[in-house]
Amino acid sequence: MYLHNTLTKRKEKFNPIDEQNIRMYVCGPTVYDRAHLGNAKSAVVFDVLNRVLRQVYGDQHVTYVSNITDIDDKILNKHQQTGKPISEITAETYQWYIDDMHALNVKDPDYRPRATEFVQEMIELVELLLKNGHAYEAEGHVLFSVDSMPKYGFLSGRSMKEMLAGARIEVADYKKNPADFILWKPSTADQPGWDSPWGYGRPGWHLECSAMSSKYLGNSFDIHGGGADLIFPHHENECAQSLCAHPNDTFANYWVHAGMLMVDGVKMSKSLGNFYTVNELIAQYPAEALRLLFISTHYHQPFNFTFDGLKQSKQILDKFYNALLRVKDVPAIDIAPDERVVEALSDDINTPLAISYLHDIANSLNKAVSLEDKQKYKSLLLRSADIMGLLYNDVEDWFKGNLTANSEIDETEINRLINERLEAKKAKDWARADAIRNQLKEQGIILEDTPQGTTWKKE
């Protein structure tokens, strides 16, 4: 396999520490609201990488960890705005996130730790950094000293001047260097907090992932992933505190980052009115169309969301499901995925190339005449698509429009009209039969008369 490594700024061969235990950690969401497009894109990208790793090395030889941040000022702000208990906010939004990811066919990681469950490990990490001379106490805070690490900035490749200019640096008199970042900060009585050697308080955001990745994967592991927006300061600071706490270890050997998300060519933001949640999009379009759209662009490149792109993804899936509909009664067989698909995905997760091979397989399925060829290409299409998490829906549900929360199709009414048309045809009332067909067509419903009866699908 080959992966683009942010650490070396190039694509390089993936050499795992232990081929019997490939270890990957990916930063998960902060649970305070509905999952947005950025949350979903990252989850889908690393779900594909997880699937590819399991295909290449074996399912039992991969350990995938993705966390949940349930300690954060955004959650605290939500609590203050709504008056809801923090535990209620995080429980509700966590379940929203899980439901949305399952709709997108994102597999659960092997472990999904919550930050609140690992505060003791974070405290121990802070103590280690203080002991090693890389942190200091100041006015109830504990801060990481960036001056104590000569190569600070090596992951992002930024100079200190660039880091200070490009980040939202909290100005504070107690900092020795403006770039020093918080490891532990005090909490007031009405804020979430834990007892610590430095008083009642809570950990800094960057600390969480260092503690949780170490707990599950060790101080040296293979892959650390996340969105490109996390490279600085989050991942830079993770590197700093983990390497300084454990100087004899490497932390993550490969840093894999998904490209920036844009909407209609500009950054997604609520102020611009182009902010979309997964929940609102999959109420209008099948979730699988959104998943396909995410991986139609190479993960390392900037991704531009458009509704035209989402519609096009739906049309591509229509083609694949149409091919499968033709052979819905042909049983699938156990078969290895197309080698071209595996090779493309093993080459830095080249999903656009892999998708092009799915088109080839679907074309072969459409041309298949013998039962043997139908079985072969149907199974090959399903098995190859599965590595990308595609074609996971029931083929008839796909065409009957049962895959969106707000489907306007009333299946009972459609079946009533089909039965009325059947009676009209028996009575040789061809005008009424044609009128029903046209009425349904105007509503986006296509009827197909077969020897087994009349079937329908959404246009």
| Model confidence at 416: pLDDT above 90 | no
Q: What's the CA gap between 71 and 83, in Å, rounded? A: 17
Which tens digit of pLDDT belongs to each residue from 384-397? 999 999 999 999 88
Q: Report the percentage of the chain scoring pLDDT > 90.
A: 80
Strands 261-263 and 135-138: unpaired
Per domain, the residue ranges of the chain are 2-262, 282-399, 411-458
Which tens digit of pLDDT belongs to each residue from 105-160? 999 999 999 999 999 999 999 999 999 999 999 999 999 999 999 999 999 998 87
Phi, psi of 226 (to 5 degrees): 165, 180
Q: What's the CA gap between 342 and 358, in Å, rounded? A: 12
pLDDT at 177: 93
- The model's confidence at residue 417, banded by pLDDT at 50, 70 and 90, is confident
Mean pLDDT of 66-74: 94
Assigned CATH topology for domain 282-399: Four Helix Bundle (Hemerythrin (Met), subunit A) (1.20.120)
Of the CATH numbers 3.30.465.10, 2.60.120.430, 3.40.50.620, 3.40.50.2300, which one belongs to the domain with range 2-262?
3.40.50.620
Mean pLDDT of 419-443: 86
Q: What's the CA gap between 265 and 93, in Å, rounded? A: 29
Residue 334 contacts by C-beta under 8 Å, 6 or more apart in sequence? 379
pLDDT at 57: 98
| Model confidence at 36: pLDDT above 60 | yes
Residue 59 contacts by C-beta under 8 Å, 6 or more apart in sequence? none
pLDDT at 11: 98
pLDDT at 317: 96
Give the 3-state DSSP-derived string for the chain, with helices as H, strands as E and coil as C. Answer: CEEEECCCCEEEECCCCCCCCEEEEECCCECCCCCEHHHHHHHHHHHHHHHHHHHHHCHHHEEEEECEECCCHHHHHHHHHHCCCHHHHHHHHHHHHHHHHHHCCCCCCCECCEHHHHHHHHHHHHHHHHHCCCEEEECCEEEECHHHCCCCCCCCCCCHHHHHHHCCCCCCCCCCCCCCEEEEEECCCCCCCECCCCCCEEECHHHHHHHHHHHHHCCEEEEEEEEHHHHHHHHHHHHHHHHHHCCCCCEEEEEEEECCEEECCEECCHHHCCCCEHHHHCCCCCHHHHHHHHHHCCCCCCEEECHHHHHHHHHHHHHHHHHHHHCCCCCCCCCCCCHHHHHHHHECCCHHHHHHHHHHHHHHHHHCCCHHHHHHHHHHHHHHHHCCCCCCCCHHHHHCCCCCCCCCCCHHHHHHHHHHHHHHHHCCCHHHHHHHHHHHHHCCEEEEEECCEEEEEEC
Dihedral in degrees, nearest 10, Cα atoms 152, 156, 162, 164: -60
Which tens digit of pLDDT belongs to each residue from 200-258? 999 998 999 999 999 999 999 999 999 999 999 999 999 999 999 999 999 999 999 99
pLDDT at 439: 81
pLDDT at 166: 56
- The model's confidence at residue 447, banded by pLDDT at 50, 70 and 90, is confident
| Model confidence at 441: pLDDT above 90 | no
pLDDT at 167: 56
| Model confidence at 192: pLDDT above 70 | yes
pLDDT at 418: 87
For all residues of the chain together, what is the average pLDDT? 93
Mean pLDDT of 327-334: 96
Q: Report the percentage of the chain scoring pLDDT > 70.
A: 97
- The model's confidence at residue 408, banded by pLDDT at 50, 70 and 90, is low
Mean pLDDT of 259-271: 91
Residue 432 contacts by C-beta under 8 Å, 6 or more apart in sequence? 420, 421, 424
- pTM, two decimals, is 0.88
| Model confidence at 308: pLDDT above 90 | yes
Which tens digit of pLDDT belongs to each residue from 339-384? 999 999 999 999 999 999 999 999 999 999 999 999 999 999 999 9
